[in-house]
Structure formats: C-alpha cells, structure tokens
Chains A and B, each alone.
Chain A
Amino acid sequence: MLEAPDATDLLATAREALLEKLLPALPPALHYEARMAANAIAIASRATAADPAPAEARLRTLAGDAATFAARIRAGEFRPGMPRHAEAAALLAEMTRLRCSVSAPRALRGT
C-alpha cells in the first residue's frame, strides 16, 4: 500500500547524503552535530528492522512484563541457585542483545 522506497531505504539514502555531501561542506564546529544526526539515523534504521516479538513472548511467559520482571528481580527472585535463575539470565541476555543490535551493534562483535 505504501510507496517505495521504504523507511529503511530512505533513512540509508538520507544518511549517505548527510555524511558524503553535507558534512564536508559544514564548518568544523558543526561536524559533531552532523555525525550525531547520522548516528541517530543509523539507530532509527536498525530499529525498523528489529523484531522484539520473540523476546517479548519469552518475557510474558517468564515474568509478565518488563516492570514485573524488574520488580521480581529486586524482590530477590531468580537469584543463583533459585528456580528459573538460568532462564532469567538467558532472557536478560537475549533482551540485551536485541537492544544492542539496534543501539550499539559494534558492542556485539566477538560475543
């Protein structure tokens, strides 16, 4: 229904224009802001491709929602040696990897 190019393509094209055409023409004092804008576009573009559904389904099964999960961890559930400690640790790792794949994919290198 929507016209192509889609969001991912548009964001990638805008980012390329920003870094290759606009940035060299900007005064040095604005380079940092321009690089931040390029970084924001890259994060937004990765966010459109991310699929949180599997991790959310696992979260629902284990603890309901993120707020309940956080509260139950604070209350002392899921500690080492307790039931479902390993499941909670694995879910946190999965959620964090998903979040990093959008916000900081370089951090996942070598993991």
Chain B
Amino acid sequence: MDETRRTALNAWLSQAAGAAVEIGGASLLSGGAIQQNWALSVTRGGGAEEWVLRTDNAATLAVSLSRSEEYALLRAVFAAGVTVPEPLFCCDDATIIGAPFFVMRRVAGTATAFRLAKQAAAMGGNAELVRHAGREMARIHSIAPPRGDLAFLGTPPADAGIEFIRAMRERLDAAGTPRPVLEWGLSALERNLLPPLPPVLCHNDFRTGNLMVQGHAITAVLDWEFAAWGDPHADLGWLCAPCWRFGNLALEAGGLGPRAPLLEGYGPGADPARLPFWELAGTIRWAVIAADQGARHLSGQERGLELALTAHIIPELELDILRQVEALGAGSA
C-alpha cells in the first residue's frame, strides 16, 4: 500500500470511527486470486487495536459476493452470535485505496485443516471442537428470510433439494463433459427427495479448512462467499461428506469427530435422517466444483498444476458417490 493510499485510508477510517485512527503498520496477510487481506495495526483514540482490511484484487471475478455484501453478511451473523471477526467499517468508495473494502477485528488462531484433523485423530476424535462447530452452525441457521439487509441473496428456493439438483445439472451441461456417475448420484437424490423445510441462511462452505481454531475453540468461521438460503442440513451434510474427512473416515464430522457430538451441539432442528441425502449432495457438489476448476486449466483461462490436479480428485469422489447411492437406496427401500 503506497503512501497516498495509506493517508487517504487513515483519513477515511478516522471519519468512519468518529475518533482519530492512526495506522501503525500494514502488511499483506494473504493474496488470493480474488481478494487481498491486510493486517492493520492501529490506534483508535489512543488505544491499540488489531484489524484486518479485506479488499478486491485488480482482476475481480463476478461470481463471488461484493465486499459490501460480504460485510452485510458478517454483520448479520455476528449479531446472531456466530463466531466471526467483528465487522467494523465498510467503504464502497473505490477511490480511497483503489477498490471497495471493509475492516474487521483481527482474531487469533490458525486455519490449517490437515493439522487439525491429524490432532483430532490422535486423540480419537475431538468431540468438544465438533460440538462447538454444531453450535456455530445452529446460530447461522437461526437467520431466516425475509431479511432486507440480505436482499442480495435473492428469493429462497421453495424446495432446496429440487433446486440443488437443477443447479448441478445446469452446471454439468454448461461444462459439457458427460459425467454418468454424477448423473447417477443426482438421479438417486431425485428418487429420495425429502419434504422441504423452511429456508434458513446456509454458509455453504462450512468445512474444516474454513474454521479458524485456537486450542479446542473455534475463533472464526471463515469464507462466506457461497452463503445462500437453503436447507440447514446442506451445511451439516457438507461438513460430514466423506471427502472432507482427511482419511479419518470414522470421524464423520470433517475428520474432527463423530456425527453425534456435532448434532448434539447443533441441538433441536437437526434431523439425522436428512443427512444421507445432503452428504451425497455434498460429494456431488464438490465433484462439480472440481470439474469446473479443472476446466479452467483445460480451457487455458488459468493454467496451473493445482487446478489440473483438482480434476483428478473427481474419480475418488465418484467412488464415494457410488457407495453413497447404494447406502441411500438401501435406507429408503
């Protein structure tokens, strides 16, 4: 961040905070393909605070939420008691630092899924952490439409299961690669549709890699880009899908612990009978995302090893899908 932008940011923050803000240090935490996160060490009215500034990279994709929408989501879930960094200020004016941004409080902890799963496996499952994850999810799902502040999420689907099948088929058609196993999975979902539930706010990427953890406590639920109205079991199923267990197959909840403490932490409202449907849906969804990532490499849009190898995850997911279809069929027969 150059001197001109820093001065402009300083002035804007002081006005937004209604107190003199001095930026003592600014360092780039992570630069993803789409967003940048800056660590800001500031004083506000003389007191030291640690903040994170989140902004767009120059080449922004239209698919993800805008920064101001992400800020609105953070405010909504923070108010609902979800453990997220406290959102502080949002700036839609792209002239201050070159792109819109928002500022949140910085939280302690690390988001390293592999290490978490390894630690959990060594202790035979971390029930405490998984219970906490269940509580966080229940708080997210306490938010229900209509919500004027979340109008950008659009109209909730009348039936989240039917909508899921439709959306996946549309993406498969757009990608153009025939995938009989994914069709097999979607057809099984169609045969096993559940009565729809009233829609709630779903995180839609609630997995171990998006949990910031310190000790046995979740210090932040990260990455709200895919949030949408849907069936709460979509989040439970995504976390419990076999592909997110890091080899700890018996620890169904994200490779961290068994399903039981997750559901216990979640409390009333979680119906275990709906999980097989949404776990299969989760596996199919990850396969469709992986296919799209591989296609970005194949099309030459963004060539690279990571995207190329992501496509090679699909056969293993297909193996999971065939097993899950069989289990779903056995359960419903």
Contacts and interface: CB of A to CB of B under 8 A. Distances in A.
Interface of A: 33, 36-37, 39-40, 43, 65-67, 69-71, 73-74, 76, 79-80, 88-89, 92-93, 95-97, 99-100, 102-104, 107-108, 111
Contacts of A80: 191, 329, 333
Given A36-B305, A74-B186, A80-B329, A66 B180 contact: yes
B179 interface: yes
20 contacts: A39-B309, A40-B305, A40-B309, A43-B312, A66-B178, A66-B180, A73-B187, A80-B191, A92-B180, A93-B322, A96-B181, A96-B315, A96-B319, A99-B318, A100-B316, A102-B315, A103-B313, A103-B314, A103-B315, A104-B312
Nearest to A98: B315
B93 interface: no
Nearest to A108: B319
10 closest A-B pairs by beta carbon, nearest first, are A99-B315, A104-B316, A103-B312, A70-B178, A67-B178, A73-B183, A107-B316, A66-B178, A103-B315, A36-B305
Nearest to A111: B319
A70 B329 contact: no
A104 B313 contact: yes
Contacts of B226: none
Nearest to B305: A36
B169 interface: yes
A36 B306 contact: yes
Nearest to A39: B309
B180 A37 contact: no
Contacts of A40: 305, 308-309
Contacts of B169: 74
Nearest to B332: A80
B4 to A, nearest CB: 31
Given A40-B308, A93-B322, A73 B316 contact: no
A7 to B, nearest CB: 18
Interface residues of B, number: 24
B319 A74 contact: no
Given A43-B312, A111-B319, A74 B306 contact: no
Interface in B286-326: 305-306, 308-309, 312-316, 318-319, 322
A70 B169 CA distance: 11
A92 B187 CA distance: 14
Contacts of A92: 180-181, 184, 322
A104 B315 contact: yes
Nearest to B321: A96
Nearest to A37: B305
Contacts of A107: 315-316, 319
B201 to A, nearest CB: 31
Contacts of A95: 180-181
Given A80-B329, A89-B322, A92-B184, 10 more contacts: A65-B178, A80-B191, A92-B180, A92-B181, A92-B322, A100-B318, A100-B319, A102-B315, A104-B316, A111-B319
Contacts of B329: 80
A93 B319 CA distance: 8
B183 A70 contact: yes
Nearest to A106: B316
Contacts of B180: 66, 69-70, 73, 92, 95
A73 B191 CA distance: 12
Contacts of A89: 322
A102 B309 CA distance: 12
A88 B184 CA distance: 10
